[in-house]
């Protein structure tokens, strides 16, 4: 398997979750009511799986390695755009958390922002994923030898192995404070 393989497999799970979020967002709009617990679950998925686990591999491994390569102007531009898009996703998720907190505390007006942020995420991520899968990943593969690609694949596995520990260390530290 090439290093981009696990990233593309992760995209498929992210797409499945986005479908669920989109369906629930429709229900929130029609019922004029949100389940803050669902929003918490969606946020956890986006933060831990899509952002920290998936984007972490891209930013901490793939992009780091690409920064050492003589990228074309176009590929460097796309990589910069992808990083900016990751930042946009983080900011949108942060705003969703704030809206959900206000809603949970009785601010009914926050429901509109919850819907808006969920819709933003479900519209944003498919375009981002398509750019990676169909443009950037195939192009970036050309910068690596087979040995380098396999080394990155091994790094991805090690990154994933450490994630569960990072997640639950964070949970315990948060509960301790």
Task: Reply yes or no on whether the pLDDT at 174 is more than 90.
Answer: no
The residues spanned by each domain of the chain are 4-171
- Whether 164 shows a pLDDT value over 90: the answer reads no
pLDDT in tens, 102-147: 999 999 999 999 999 999 999 999 999 999 999 999 999 999 999 9
Topology (CATH) of 4-171:
1.20.120
What pLDDT shows up at residue 169?
87
22-69 per-position pLDDT tens digit: 999 999 999 999 999 999 999 999 999 999 999 999 999 999 999 999
Average pLDDT estimate for 143-154: 96
Q: What is the DSSP letter of 143?
A: T
Q: What does the pLDDT read at residue 149?
A: 96
CA distance 101 to 119: 18
Q: What is the pLDDT of residue 122?
A: 97
CA distances from 66 to 13, 21, 88, 92, 105 (A): 25, 33, 21, 27, 45
pLDDT(171) > 90: no
Q: What is the pLDDT of residue 36?
A: 97
């Amino acid at each position: 398997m090439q290093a981009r393989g696990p990233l593309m497999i992760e995209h498929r799970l992210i797409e499945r979750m986005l479908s669920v979020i989109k369906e629930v967002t429709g229900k929130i709009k029609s019922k004029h009511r949100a389940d803050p617990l669902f929003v918490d679950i969606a946020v956890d998925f986006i933060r831990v799986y899509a952002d920290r686990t998936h984007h972490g591999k891209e930013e901490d491994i793939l992009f780091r390695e690409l920064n050492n390569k003589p990228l074309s102007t176009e590929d460097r531009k796309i990589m910069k755009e992808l990083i900016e898009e990751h930042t946009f996703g983080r900011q949108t998720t942060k705003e969703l958390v704030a809206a959900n907190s206000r809603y949970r505390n009785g601010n009914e007006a926050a429901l509109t922002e919850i819907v808006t942020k969920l819709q933003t995420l479900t519209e944003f991520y498919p375009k981002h994923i398509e750019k990676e899968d169909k443009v950037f990943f195939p192009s970036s593969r050309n910068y690596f030898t087979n040995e380098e690609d396999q080394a990155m694949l091994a790094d991805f596995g090690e990154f994933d192995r450490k994630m569960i520990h990072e997640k639950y260390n964070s949970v315990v530290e948060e509960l301790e404070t």
